[in-house]
Amino acid sequence: MSINLFFVLLLSLLIGMFGYFKPTMFKEETKEEVPEFELESFVIYEISSAGIDRFFEGNHGKRFEDRYEVSSAKFSNNSKDLFESISANEVLYKDNIISLEGNVHYVREDGLQFRSDEGQYDTVNSLVSTRGSFVITQNSNRVNGTQLQLNTKSHTVSANAVSGSYQLD
């Protein structure tokens, strides 16, 4: 066998192997966002010279670059005139806005409470709001309605489709 024939056969074999074992192109996989860190059963305290201002607790928390995602979360604020806390099954904390989903419960030191299936708490403006139905109570007073707007700084409440009972002292 001549050397030229050997190289022609070798070239043919290599081209055939390349055609048979041709690399397949994989579709680009979507990259899932990875949290910077995760916590289990945690409490985060914000402390000032006056003491504990705020604390944030939950069962499972993820810290991303721009937000926190927490399950079974409770946010408590002790930096205002009245101690207040708000809790929910699922919480997204981003840009000083706490978005709450599932079993939302707000409690204030003076006995004011409300419950809803969803809500939002603007920590800077002290504004608690819901888009859906809610029940708000204080002492023996009870009000039902939709689209609650509770300003905890100015102590004002507005809502739609309101009904309830209120006892005058």
Quickly list DSSP for the chain.
--HHHHHHHHHHHHHHHHHHTPPPPPPPPPPPP--SEEEEEEEEEEEETTEEEEEEEEEEEEE-SS-EEEEEEEEEE-SSSS-EEEEEEEEEEETTEEEEEEEEEEEETTS-EEEEEEEEEETTTTEEE-SSEEEEEETTEEEEEEEEEEETTTTEEEEEEEEEE----
pLDDT score at 7: 82
| Res. 69 pLDDT band, cuts 50 70 90 | very high
Question: Could you tell me what percent of the chain has a pLDDT over 90?
Answer: 37
**Least confident residue range of 59-73, 86-100, 142-156:** 142-156
Q: Which of 73, 72, 66 is nearest to 33 (CA)?
A: 66
Domain 37-165 belongs to what architecture? Sandwich (2.60)
Residue 159, burial from CB neighbour count under 10 angstroms (0-12, 13-18, 19+): buried
Q: Whole-model pTM above 0.85?
A: no
pLDDT digit string (tens) for 5-30?
888 888 888 888 877 777 677 667 66
Q: Which two tokens mark 158?
A: 């507005």
Question: Could you tell me what percent of the chain has a pLDDT over 70?
Answer: 95
For the chain, give the mean pLDDT.
Answer: 87
Q: With contact defined as beta carbons under 8 Å apart, do 133 and 118 qualify?
A: no
User: In degrees to the nearest 10, what's the CA dihedral of 141, 135, 145, 169?
Assistant: 10
